[in-house]
Chains A and B, each alone.
Chain A
Amino acid sequence: MMSETILRGLRERDPRGIARAISLVEENDPMADEILSSLDDSLVDQAMVLGITGPPGAGKSTLTDRIISRYRSLGKRVGVIAVDPSSPISGGAILGDRIRMMGHALDKDVVVRSMATRGRLGGLCAAAGAAVRILAGSGCSVIIIETVGVGQSEMDIIRLADITALVLAPGLGDDIQAMKAGLLEVADILIVNKADCAGAETLAMDMESIAREGGKEKDRVNVCMTVASEGRGTDELLAAIETVDISHRETGERRTRREKAYDLEVLDWALEMIKPSIIEKIEKWDHVRKGAPRLQAARLLGQE
């Protein structure tokens, strides 16, 4: 497909055009820059990007499905980027988040795209960021990024979001303990899903106290209880999202995050661009492989 056809497809919200455009940016096709430069920046500025993260099985996809329904009933066009890890051995991936969202498959105003991490550490951020722009440029006013909150690269994607919700559920054990440390740094909203299951109350109380601990400098983090499988608690969650959104707009936090996210994407690209020349330098370099590698690197770059 020629880029003209793709650009027209994007403008006309043609599903195939949107899908091709995302693939082209994902693959760093030469057409990607042209596509990204042609997007309507005001649409990208206005869209709300919601990050949903948490351990596997917490109910992120089920909850995303419910959130889609709520925004659709408000007449908003919704985009979803569902990220799953690639297998480090084969490089392949099973992308199964869509299963929970198939109820929206025939709705032309719900665009779901699954994306694998592909072992590109920083690059994932660039790929997901580009996909967010394309979805926004094709008229999605709400864009949800679902990602498993375990790896660093996945956490980085969350920095693309205007608002981040962390989904937890009782019975997931150690995952939660391990995550607690960084919880408040990334989460604007804490969701205790599977509120129908034993241990949900305790978990919610835990979360409440964590939310209070960090509540001095930051805005108080909301704790929401949901039963995603039954659609319970979604209205309250949407209200919490709106509250955070309004506050972030008033305080300038939204703008700050957008600027940081943009710079992060630029950094990703810059690092990608200088990497080959450094690799080439090292390969051609006639050096003694001894001593502190960091000093060698400084020497290589002429910073010593």
Chain B
Amino acid sequence: MAEQKKTHRVLIGKPGLDGHDRGAKFIARALRDAGFEVVYTGIRRTPDEIAAAAVQEDVSAVGLSLLSGAHLSLFPAVVRALKSAGAGDIPVLGGGIIPDEDIVLLKEAGINAVFTPGTPVAQIIAAFRTACETQEARRN
């Protein structure tokens, strides 16, 4: 059988209470159009639910979208939830209206990449691709 190029699986989730999923859906579609398989979990998920879904779906990366401003608590909470689900190796990427000073804090808290409304889509896709490739190489 011809060796197929590996299809990257990612999960896009929206933790927290805000109900605006335009950003999440936009990224999900952009990733699909770039050839990713995107598991979308919908709005208002707890970090534990997102982590459990990420494990079951065996994704190579988790993307979070938030507009509520609660990123400093919720993004690291998902990282912790993944750790306690035995999946701390899965990289977490996050996007939202995030001030520069918070980006440093989020990276320190283990977020793989942070996107803001100004980040070009191509850059977001490239970040997901790199995160997936790194994770898949480490996992195997």
Pairwise interchain contact A92-B32, C-beta atoms closer than 8 A: yes
Which residues A64-99 have CB closer than 8 A to chain B?
Answer: 86-87, 89-96, 98-99
Residues of B within 8 A of A273 (CB): 1
Q: Report A266 CB to chain B, min CB distance, Å.
A: 16
Task: Name the residue of chain A whose CB is nearest to the CB of B51.
Answer: A105
Residues of B within 8 A of A1 (CB): 139-140
- Given A27-B6, A94-B38, A276-B1: A102 and B56 interface contact (C-beta under 8 Å): no
Residues of B within 8 A of A105 (CB): 45, 48-49, 52-53
> Which of A27, A90, A93, A273: most chain B Cβ within 10 A?
A93
Task: Name the residue of chain A whose CB is nearest to the CB of B87.
Answer: A16
Q: Which of A92, A112, A118 meets B36, CB within 8 Å?
A: A92
Report Cα–Cα, A20/B33, bound state, in Å: 25
The 9 closest A-B pairs by CB, nearest first: A99-B42, A92-B32, A19-B58, A105-B49, A23-B58, A92-B35, A95-B39, A96-B40, A105-B52
Does residue B113 face the partner (Cβ distance < 8 Å to A)? no
Report Cα–Cα, A164/B35, bound state, in Å: 31
Interface magnitude class on chain B = 20 to 34
Task: Name the residue of chain B whose CB is nearest to the CB of A92.
Answer: B32
- Given A15-B52, A92-B38: A114 and B33 interface contact (C-beta under 8 Å): no
Does residue A211 face the partner (Cβ distance < 8 Å to B)? no
Main secondary structure of the interface of A (DSSP, over half): mixed
Q: Which of B2, B9, B41, B48 meets A106, CB within 8 Å?
A: B48
Pairwise interchain contact A94-B28, C-beta atoms closer than 8 A: yes
Known: A91-B7, A102-B41. 8 other contacts (CB 8 A): A16-B85, A23-B58, A92-B35, A94-B40, A95-B40, A95-B57, A105-B53, A106-B49
Residues of B within 8 A of A98 (CB): 39-42, 53, 57
Residues of B within 8 A of A275 (CB): 1
Pairwise interchain contact B52-A114, C-beta atoms closer than 8 A: no
Does residue B55 face the partner (Cβ distance < 8 Å to A)? yes
Pairwise interchain contact A111-B56, C-beta atoms closer than 8 A: yes
Does residue B69 face the partner (Cβ distance < 8 Å to A)? no
